[in-house]
Copies of this chain bind each other. A is one copy, B any other.
Amino acid sequence: MSKKPSIPKGTRDFNPEEVTRRNYIFNVIKETFSLFGFQPIETPSFENSETLMGKYGEEGDRLIFKILNSGDFLSKVNEKLYSEKDSNKITSKISEKALRYDLTVPFARYVVQHQNEITFPFKRYQIQPVWRADRPQKGRFREFFQCDADVVGSTSLWQEVEFVQLYDAVFNKLGLKDVAIKINNRKVLSGIAETIGAEDRLIDFTVALDKLDKIGEEGVKREMREKGISDEALQKLQPLFSFKGNNEEKLNSLKDLLRGSQMGMKGVKELEFITENIEVLGLQTASLNIDVTLARGLNYYTGAIFEVAAPAEVSMGSIGGGGRYDDLTGIFGLKEMSGVGISFGLDRIYLVLEELNLFPETVSQNSKALFINFGEKEALYAMKAITGLRNAGIKTELYPDATKMGKQMGYADKRNIPFTVLAGEKEMNAQSFTLKNMKSGDQSQVSFTELSQILSE
C-alpha cells in the first residue's frame, strides 16, 4: 500500500481553516434559529430503508446510498431471485438501511415516532450531513450539510413572516447585505393555471414560467405552446410577462388576473398577509419580493414558496429556500400536520462569503503565541508560563522539540502564529520572557504579567 491514499469522489476533507470558517457559518445560523425559538434535534445517519425509499421519487430512490447488511447477507436471498442476478430486485434483500438523503423525511419520521413526547407546534432545527449518489460536479457533492428550520403543527402565516425575518437576520449577521428573498405561493400558481384553463398542465406550465429569466418572454411562450397551452390562454397570461412594480402593485395585478379563481385569490391573500406585515415590521437589509415565476419544489409545497438569491455581484444561484407543505407527516400515518420550513445552503454561502471576503479575521482559532523550546529546563520554565496563560484562557503552545531555532520560527510563521516567546538562561534568571512580534519583528523583554496582558489583547 504505497500508493498515495485518496477519498471517494464527491467527498471532501476539510482543513483547519475550512472547518473553522464552516463552523462560523453554522454558529451564526444556530444562534439565530435559537433566537427565533427553534430547538435542535438530531437523527441517525442511517434510517431503515423503508423510511426513505419511495419518498423522493424514482430518481431519489436511485440516489440513496444503501448499506450492505452485515454477516452472510446472501443467505437471505432465495435461489430463484439470486439466479436472476437483478441488482434492483436483490437490493432490498441484502440492504436494510440507507444513509439520510435529506433532513425533511427523517424529521417527519421523528415527529410521528415521538408525537406523544412533543409539544406542538414544534419548532425544530437540524444541521446534519446528508448523502446523495449524484454525479459529482462543481459545487455538488455526495456528502454535504443541510441546515433546516421547520415548524410543524400550525397553519399560522405568522410563521412565514418569521422565516422572512430569520433569513434577513442570518444574512445580515454574516455581513451579506441586500439579499433578495423571493416569495411565491403554490395556490397562486394553481390559480393561474386554472384561470388559463391549464389545471392539468400545472407542472409543465410552471416549469416553463420558471425559465422567464433565462429564455425571455418569447422563449417561455414557445415552450408553453409546445406543451399544448393555447394562444388564448397565453393571452390571459400577458400581465405576468410585464409583472413589475413593488409588492403592492404586483398583488393588485394578481387580484385582477385571478379574480375568477378561489384558489388563486386564497394564495394572493396569503402573499398579502406576509408582505404587508413584513412591510410594517421592517427588515434589516434584505428585501422581500413577490416572484410569480418561482416554483421550486412544487411537488410538495402547498402554500408559500421561498428562495433567497445571492447578491447580484456573485453568480451563485440560490443560497436558501423553503416553503409550506400541508401534509408533512402523512407519509408516516399522522394526518393533518401542516409544516413550513426553510433551509440554508451552506456550501454556497461559504463560497459567497469567500468571494466577497466577508469571513471576519477573528474567526481563526489560532494560537496567540509559540514558546520556543531551548531544552528541558527551559521548556519546563516555558510550560509553567503556558499553564498560567491557558488558565487565563490564552491560547499558547510550546514547540515540542528543542530543534534549531530557525525551524521553530518557521513553524510559527507557517502557522500564522502572531507572537513567539523566547526564554533562555538570561530570561530565566530575570524571571522574564522575550516576546517577539512575528509581523513587525519587534522584540521586548517582559514579565509574566505583561506577557499575559499583551497576549490577551
Contact = CB atoms under 8 A, between A and B. Distances in A.
Interface of A: 1-8, 11-16, 19-20, 23, 34-37, 39-48, 50-51, 62-63, 65-68, 70-75, 77, 82, 85-88, 90-91, 94-97, 99, 109-110, 112-114, 117, 119, 121, 123-124, 129, 131, 133, 143, 151, 154-156, 158-159, 161-162, 165, 169, 277, 280-282, 331-333, 365-367, 373, 379-380, 383-384, 387, 390, 393-398, 400-401, 411, 414-415
Given A82-B85, A414-B119, A113 B13 contact: yes
20 contacts: A1-B50, A4-B113, A5-B51, A5-B112, A8-B44, A11-B44, A14-B42, A15-B114, A19-B42, A34-B365, A36-B395, A45-B129, A45-B131, A46-B131, A73-B87, A74-B86, A74-B87, A82-B85, A154-B401, A281-B387
A158 B68 contact: no
A309 B6 CA distance: 37
A230 to B, nearest CB: 40
Closest 10 CB pairs of A and B: A11-B44, A156-B400, A37-B397, A16-B39, A2-B333, A19-B40, A14-B42, A119-B414, A154-B400, A70-B133
A220 to B, nearest CB: 35
A44 B87 contact: no
A158 to B, nearest CB: 5
Contacts of A34: 365, 395
Contact of A387 (B23, B44, B121, B165): B165
A331 B1 CA distance: 7
Contacts of A390: 35-36, 165, 169
Contacts of A96: 8
A261 to B, nearest CB: 24
A380 B277 contact: yes
Tell me the dominant secondary structure on chain A's binding face: mixed
Contacts of A365: 34, 39-40
Given A47-B7, A68-B95, A73-B87, A397 B36 contact: yes
A396 B37 contact: yes
B112 A94 contact: no
Contact of A74 (B90, B124, B151): B90
A448 to B, nearest CB: 14
Contact of A400 (B6, B88, B151, B397): B151
A161 to B, nearest CB: 7
Contact of A11 (B46, B158, B161, B373): B46
B143 A13 contact: no
Contacts of A42: 13-14, 19
A35 B393 contact: yes
Given A5-B109, A7-B43, A46-B8, A71 B87 contact: yes
Given A6-B113, A68-B66, A15 B36 contact: no
A47 B101 CA distance: 18
A280 B384 CA distance: 9
Given A156-B401, A158-B400, A380-B277, A41 B15 contact: yes
